[in-house]
Every structure is written in structure tokens, then in C-alpha cells.
Structure 1
Amino acid sequence: MELLNTIMTWIMKKRISQIELFMKNPLEVQAEQFKKLIHTAQQTEWGRKYHYASITSVKEYQQRVPLSSYEEIFPYIDRLMKGEQNLLWPSEIKWFAKSSGTTNARSKFIPVSTEALEDCHFRGGKDLMTVYVNNNPDTKVFVGKGLAIGGSYQLSQENPDVYYGDVSAVVMKNLPIWAQFIRTPGLEIALMNEWEEKLEKMAKVTSQENVTSILGVPTWTIVLLQKILEITGKSNILEVWPNLEIFAHGAVSFTPYRAVFQQLIPSPHMKYVEIYNASEGFFGIQDQSDIADMLLMLDYGVFYEFIPVEEMDKEHPKMLTLGEVELNKVYALIISTNSGLWRYNIGDTVKFTSLSPYRIRISGRTKHFINAFGEELMVENAEQAITKACQESGAIISNFTAAPIYMETSGKGGHEWIIEFVKEPSSLKQFIHVLDATLREINSDYDAKRYKDIALQLPLVHSVQEGTFYQWMKKRNKLGGQHKVPRLSNSREYVDDILSMMEVSKGA
């Protein structure tokens, strides 16, 4: 394995010059990506519709091709899943990354082309290690194996040639043989559908391996590490994997979990690297250990545009290319990709913390949400569930807000709701169960995290007296006008403030 480590680090270092090239010439590289995308898609149905063959500039592209949401491109995706081809992208599309739900479905299905796998997702994974090797030249990371915590995939019931699943599963299933050799556990375990059984088997198998790196979502990684300690009887993960060097994480904020990981992995030398990978593509890698922000990856077959967040609700929002963005301003991220997503609003907001090179920080979603555990709970989901719970329990509400309960080292996470009832439910217990059951029904990601209480427990609901939200908004000088109670937040700022205000009121 020492020889393999030498070979792999040498290979990774060869790529660093290409990364440095787009860091020095970002606008030229993005221009090349744009031209290649437009040229490749000229003869697709979409390309013919918007006359890609005659597009000669980004400005012309922006004028001719509309911004797209999932709902707007869904008819094309639906046809792709039924077997039609050459609609959005010329190469065959038979894999779809399953993502969180929308207004017309419990889940989104994002097309994943061969080019997107090879030039975006695979390259992102390799570049993660390239950057790490470059920053840590004495690394022994390839002496051991990489633990990847992924999801599952399945065959479409409508089309035997189509597969869909979590993007991690799509990537794992399509990895080249050499990459399978250096990862653990094997695909027969990593891609299992039943999470509880998979967790048990992953813990048993990987605890016997020399794991040197981990890739995964913080919440699920905590659950696995706790299971490994339970099985092995060890007090911390370094007693199981003494050569563990790096944890690459994404999907949710790592900040609330850092202390938990430091307890589970008590090493001052452990490296934590953030990545920005999504169903739609791989976009960013933390390239400096002392800077938490991520380098925007510019040569992955993705062309970027940005909408200032204050322009989002306008009929014709201002559109910016990379050379027009400013520091520390919040932008909605718009992408055109080598899977046929054209001027697609991914739903994330970012801010630039550096313009030379271009580094970003994910600032949130374009709407209020809770995504502390990968559940991607949207306001629409919350309002629909609240309505159903009120209907079945006879309750009437005036206001509500919710936030995550972050898991401790040995605990579990959840959602904490503060609800002001005009009319109390006949049974608060019934209300909570209907609320939870409805969220599980309409949001597949929430449902997965609630499965057997592994990551999310039953919601905690506080019923507060009438006038609570009014007094809170008054305290914040937010009465009247366009001010609204924030329904969902990924931070506990609002919930803790209201609970604190209630305690002061009780004391008085």
C-alpha cells in the first residue's frame, strides 16, 4: 500500500497545475465551458428550440434562453425517464439523481450524463484529494482506504433501462474499478436500501479496515461512528482507525457538529474539508485549511450565472456572470451543465469571499428552510403539514416557527416548533403525530431521516399563549409593513429568542 500511496499522490499532483490554470484565468476558462456546452447541445430538442447554433455570446444566451426551475424542465425529464433521448443533452441519459421534493412531486429527478459523471462528479472527488495531497505532501492517505457513506439506487418501474437514487449512490455505482479498490465498504453493503441493516454491516466491515479518510454528511457520519464504537467497545475512533487523516463533508453546515467530531476523533491533526456537491453537480472544494471557504471549480462542464438575491422576485432579474460578481453579496446560483440543465436555479445562495481566486461560501437557500440533517424541509411542506394537523385535531393557529434540535455526541436530532394557537387542538399529541406523518408523506428526505428515529426524533412542539409572536416581533421592531414571522430557520436564533422571552415573562 505504500507503493500505491506513492503512485496516487504523484498522479494527484499532476492535476494541480490545471487547477492553478483556472484560478489564474477564471473568465477565459468559463468562456470555454460556455462555448463547449452550447456547441454540444445544438442538435438536442432544447438546443433547436432556442437556436443554439446561432448563439454567439453569453448576452445573447441570456436574452434567448429563460431561467429554469425544476417544474419548468420536468416535462423533458419525465420524457427522458420514459426512454426518449437527445432532449436536453445529446448523450444517453439513463441515470437520475434523486433529490428533495417540489410542489408537484415528493422528489426531484436530476439527469446525470456520462459527461457529468466523468467531468464533474468524478473530477470533483479526484480534485478533493488533489488539493489535500498538495496541502499535505507527507500524507499517507492512500495507504489505507476511504470510507464513503452513501445512499441507495433502484431501477425505474416505468423503464428497465433507467436507474435513480441518491447522487452518492449514482457516483459509487459508476466509479471505475481502481476507485472501488481503494474504498470501503463494498458496493453490496454501501448501496443497500435498508439503512438500519446497512449501518450495522458498514460498522462491522469498516471497523476491520485501515480507514484513512471519510466522505459523508456529518449527521449520518456521527451515527455510523457511534455504531462502530458500540460494536468495538472502543472509547474513540482513533482506537479503531489510528491512521485516520481527513473527513470531507458537505450537504449541511458542519459548524454545529464540529465539537461532536472532536470528541469522537480526539486528534489535533485531523483535517476537516468542506465540499459543495449536489445532485446537480460538484461545485466547490475547500482548498486552504485555514480558510473555511471553497474554491469555485470552473472546468467541470458547468457555466455559472448569479442573480443578486434582492432581484430574485423580479420578472426580469439582473443576471451576472463570474466577472461581474462582488465580494460578500448574496447571489442565487444559476447553472448550465453537461447534463442538460439550462440556466437552472439550483435553489442555493452563495456569497463570494474572494475574487482572486474565486472562493464562495454557501449562505443558504433561496427560501426559508431547515436542512440540519439533510431533510430539506421547506416552508411549503411545513404549511401543508400544519394545515392537515389542524384539520384533524380541530385546531386553529395564528403563527408558528420551527428550528432544528442539533444532536449531541450520544443524542439524536429533531425539530422544535413554537406554535400559537387561536384554538387549541383536541389533543396536542394527536396534532404532533399528524404533523410528523404528513411531513413524512410529502417530503421523502424528511421521511428517510425519521426512519426508526435514527437521525430525527418526533417533533417537539411548544404551544404558546396568544400574543406571543406579536410581542416577539415588537421586541425586534418588526411590527407591520412587510415584516413576517420566519416560518423555518436552519439556525436556532429565532426559537431560542422566543423561548428566552417566554421564560422572562414567566419570571415576571
Structure 2
Amino acid sequence: MIGILNVIFRHKEINYETKEILECQWKTLNKILSLSDKTEFGKKHGFKSIHSIKEYQKRIPIMHYEDIAPFWNLEASGEKNVIFNKSPEYFVESSGTTGIKKLIPVTKHLLKSIQACKNRMLSVAMKKNKNYNFLSKKHLIICSRIETGKTSGGIPVGMISGLITRKKTPKFAQYLLIPSEETINCIGLEEKFLRYKEEVVGHKFGTVAGIPASVVELLTYLKKNLSEKEYAHCFDEVEILLTSGVNYRPYRQKLEELLGKKFSYIDSYVSSEGFYGGEAEENPDVFQFFPKSVFFEFIPADNYWNNDYNTRLLLHEIEVDQKYVIAVTTGNGTFSYILGDVIKVCSKKPLRFTIAGRTLLTLNLVSEKTSITQVENAITQFSNQNGVIVKEFFLAENFDSNKPSYCWYFEETDFFRNLNESSKIELSKALDKSLCEANPLYDYFLNEVQTMEASTIHIISSNGINNWFKRKNSDPIHKKLPRIILDKQSVNTIVKNKTILV
């Protein structure tokens, strides 16, 4: 059976030499253009007469959500041939982690390409774990609701993780997935967890899939509410955690504590707008692109921040150690669409990259430019070096300080609640040391020129975080807390519920 699966899921690595990658990317782009060539949008930009990537870039500007949303909203209201030759099957709500919630269309083409990308990640999993056979055990999926309502035009609305993880899994594999669609669609967290508990008993899981924070929360609940024997039976043979959306590394210690062992992590680069890449086979710390599914463009990061979108590089043109803002064209109405991610190229042969931050969420009080990725790297290093297991966390400006400085916010745990005064000081120093190593500019402004003051720590209640998610109408099991929060009002909204000041 494993041999058969390898045949099904095997894939050929694209050669990123100019000719081959250009042919691949043009083929991908041309197919996507054909899905919208009869529409108002397609006619306006002359899709039928575009015969090269250069011509496409001349006619289509770089687009943000605000530019494309009016077309999507018209389709959602029931109008036809606005931006799609055929109406979308679904709309999905973005989680709104880094801004407003978005309503994003999902087409048959996108679902087909996502399935191809999922197959590639299964191939990575099978190569990483030689005896991994996903048909031999059950798979616990922790995802957001499949359907939350309908648009004004009657098109179903849900969230992308529920749709692609549960609803659109091939029928031959549906029986392997736990829990049921009914459980996934539960609104209340208490009822949902209770139903999870009832459905997992007696099954052996080989895979757990979900956002790391949500996996931690559910496994913690199950460990507390199942007998030791029941819990061990379910999870003692877990081989792989499939994850996306949030860096799993800050949660690694807690996950391995909950499962009682080390296991493999397979990370994917996915958002509500599409599936762009996944963990490289040879290195779990870098991503590979999926150029057969998505057309990619790259704007040098400094150019983007200066509102200069004229330089739009292709996959074969990006350079090692450089940072770029990524734009995608995916077959669901995104055309040269800015995702908001900044990537850094790690190597060219093979082409590999990491996520280096977000275009909007950067703490920049005195030109230190602290990114989300640097915050996550600092917490990972801090946790590993100091043996501290964190739950949720984020970084913000210290709004009460007379001198520029940061505040770290951690969700309450026994460890944080029981800190004595000397431990608090040492903890702050350790956090600053880790962030200095992650961001040399922070080190420069904190320690060399001393423009910034040492960071402080606040411990916030779990209620505060949960209430914040409720206000955002987020799925209770799909928790993506921003690692950097810029505005004071959002910080106060989280903090004001039973805040414990350290």
C-alpha cells in the first residue's frame, strides 16, 4: 500500500532555471486567466489577448484587498460574470488575525489546486517518515467551521481550514478523519470539546492537524478529561503534526509534553486566498514554492514600503538573502494580489525561502523594525534556553513608558503567576537577550545607543484572550493571536479582563 501511495503522491521538483520555470509559470497564469476571460474584469484588462507574462504585468496593476473586494462582493451578492466565468462554489471568511475580516471566494479551480498541494505535502510526510501510511490510522483534525452562513446571493460561507481539511478531503479518505462535520460546525467551545472527547475515544491517531495553539488547547482538555489509558491509546502512536498559519516552534515543548515524545512537524504555507508552498523535503526550517498552482511575483521589500510597485520580479529573478513582498495570482479572483507576507530567499538551487514578517505588523518605535518572525524566533529561543513553556503571547509598545520600550504579554500559567521579584528581572533580561539576537537593530537601540528602555512583562488572563476572540466573532477553536499588536485600544481590550500585572 505504501508503494501505491508513493506513486499517487510523488511529484517532480521544478527546475528553477529560467526557461523551465517561465514555461511552468506562464502555463499556470494562462490557465487562471482563462477562468475569468469572459467577465467584466477580464474584458476590461483584455485577458484573451494576453500572450506573455510581460503583457500581463503591463495590464494588471499590483492589487490589495481593497482593490479586488468590490468585484468579490458583487459576486457574493449573486451577480454573475463580474470576475469569474462561473460563480464561486463558496466564500470563506479570513480569520482577521492581522486586520479586518475578509470575504474571499473559493472556486473549483482553487479547490483542485489545493488538493494537488495537499498531495505534495503528503509526499513530504511519507519521505520524512519512511513507514508513514496515512490509511492505517485515524487523523485528528482541529479546524474552523465548514459553514457559517450564506452570502446575500445565497452562496455558502465558511472558513478555509474546515473546507479544505474536512469537507473537500477525497471521499476515500473521509472515514479516516475525526471528528465529524457536525462537531466541527459546533459554535460553542465547551460543546465542541465535549463532542471531540466523545469521538476520539477508542481510535488510534497517526496524525494531528491544526493551528498549534488550538492543538495545545484541545490536547490539554483531552488529557484532563480522558483516563490515562484512553488518552495513551489515542495518541501514543502519533507520528506527524500537520500545521499551517502559525509558527509551531514556540509551542513545540508543550506539544511534545502533551504527546509524551518527539514527532515530525510538516508545515504548510497557506492562507484563505490559497496554498502557496510547504516544508522542503530536505530541511524543515525552509519552504518550497508550488509554481504549478500559483503564479508568483515579488516586489523588493524596501520598494514596497516606499510605495514603489514597478519592480515585479519572477521566481527565477529573486536573489538569496533578499526580502520581498509576495503577490499571487491563484484562480480565485486574486490577480497580482498582495498577501501581506514578506519572504526571504534562503537558496536558489533548489529555491527555498522563509517567512520574514508582514507588511503591516512591524514594531518600529525608533527604527528598530521588529517583525513577527523575530518575535517568534525570540520566544522559541527564550523557551528552549530557559525551559519556559508559554501559551499565547504577543508583543506591543509599552504605552505607559516615557522612553520607547516594549511590553511582552503572556497568557497566564502557573509558572508566570508564581514568579518572584528576582525571577521577574531575570526573565525580562532573558527576553531582551533573545530578541536582541533575533533582531540586531533592537540590540543596537537597546544596548549600544540606549535609545530604548528594557522591556516589561504583563500576564493576561485566559478570559481576556477568549473574550477578544469572541468580540471578533472568531471560531472558538481557530485561535490566531497576532504576535505584534500595534494599537493601544486592541491591547486594552485583551488586557482589561482580569489582568495580572507583573
Pairwise TM-score range, normalised by the shorter structure: 0.7 to 0.9
1:132-281 to structure 2, matched below 5 A, reads: 132-154=125-147, 156=149, 158-159=151-152, 161-171=154-164, 172-234=166-228, 238-268=232-262, 270-281=263-274
Structure 2 unpaired stretches of 5+: 363-371, 377-389, 418-427, 429-460, 488-501
1:322 aligned onto 2:327:
no
Q: 1:100 to 1:329 in 2, by over 3 A?
A: same
Shift of 1:158: 4.8
Supply the AA of the counterpart residue of 1:361: T
Structure 1 unpaired stretches of 5+: 1-5, 387-394, 417-431, 460-484, 489-502, 504-508
Paired residues of 2:395 and 2:408 also in contact (CA < 8 A): no
Range with greater deviation from structure 2 (248-257 or 281-290) = 281-290
Q: 1:337 to 1:378 in 2, by over 3 A?
A: farther
Distance 2:254 2:308 in 1: 45
Distance 2:218 2:57 in 1: 45
Supply the AA of the counterpart residue of 1:141: F
Q: Deviations over 1:12-62 (max 9, x none)?
A: 43332x333567843331121122222332212111111112222222211
Distance 1:131 1:366 in 2: 29
1:80 aligned onto 2:75:
yes
Supply the AA of the counterpart residue of 1:405: F
Supply the AA of the counterpart residue of 2:41: W
1:493-504 to structure 2, matched below 5 A, reads: none
Range with greater deviation from structure 2 (308-317 or 224-233) = 308-317
Q: Deviations over 1:172-217 (max 9, x none)?
A: 2233322312211111112322222112211331232111111110
Distance 1:198 1:271 in 2: 27
Q: How many residues align?
A: 418
1:112-127 to structure 2, matched below 5 A, reads: 112-119=106-113, 121-127=114-120
Q: Deviations over 1:398-454 (max 9, x none)?
A: 977554426769999xxx9xxxxxxxxxxxxxxx9xx98996687445x958x9xx9
Aligned match of 1:107: 101
1:242-391 to structure 2, matched below 5 A, reads: 242-268=236-262, 270-288=263-281, 290-300=283-293, 302-317=294-309, 318-368=311-361
Shift of 1:316: 3.4
Supply the AA of the counterpart residue of 2:198: K
Distance 2:97 2:132 in 1: 43
1:403-418 to structure 2, matched below 5 A, reads: 403-405=408-410
SS class of match (2:305): coil
Shift of 1:126: 2.1
Shift of 1:288: 2.5
Supply the AA of the counterpart residue of 2:333: G
Q: 1:407 to 1:84 in 2, by over 3 A?
A: farther
Paired residues of 1:216 and 1:249 also in contact (CA < 8 A): yes
Q: Deviations over 1:108-143 (max 9, x none)?
A: 011110110112x22222221122113333224321
Distance 1:132 1:23 in 2: 23
Percent identity between the aligned chains?
A: 24
Aligned match of 1:420: none
1:67 aligned onto 2:62:
yes
1:58 aligned onto 2:53:
yes
Range with greater deviation from structure 2 (91-100 or 395-404) = 395-404
Distance 2:48 2:405 in 1: 51
1:95 aligned onto 2:90:
yes
Paired residues of 1:204 and 1:228 also in contact (CA < 8 A): no
TM-score, L = length of structure 1? 0.72
Distance 1:284 1:340 in 2: 19
- Find 1:41's aligned residue among 30, 36, 41: 36
SS class of match (2:31): helix
Distance 1:91 1:374 in 2: 44
Q: 1:96 to 1:9 in 2, by over 3 A?
A: farther
Supply the AA of the counterpart residue of 2:182: E
Paired residues of 1:106 and 1:444 also in contact (CA < 8 A): no
Paired residues of 2:139 and 2:209 also in contact (CA < 8 A): yes
Supply the AA of the counterpart residue of 1:143: S
Paired residues of 1:238 and 1:244 also in contact (CA < 8 A): no
Distance 2:255 2:65 in 1: 35
TM-score, L = length of structure 2? 0.72
Distance 1:196 1:305 in 2: 43
Shift of 1:87: 2.0
Paired residues of 1:248 and 1:273 also in contact (CA < 8 A): yes
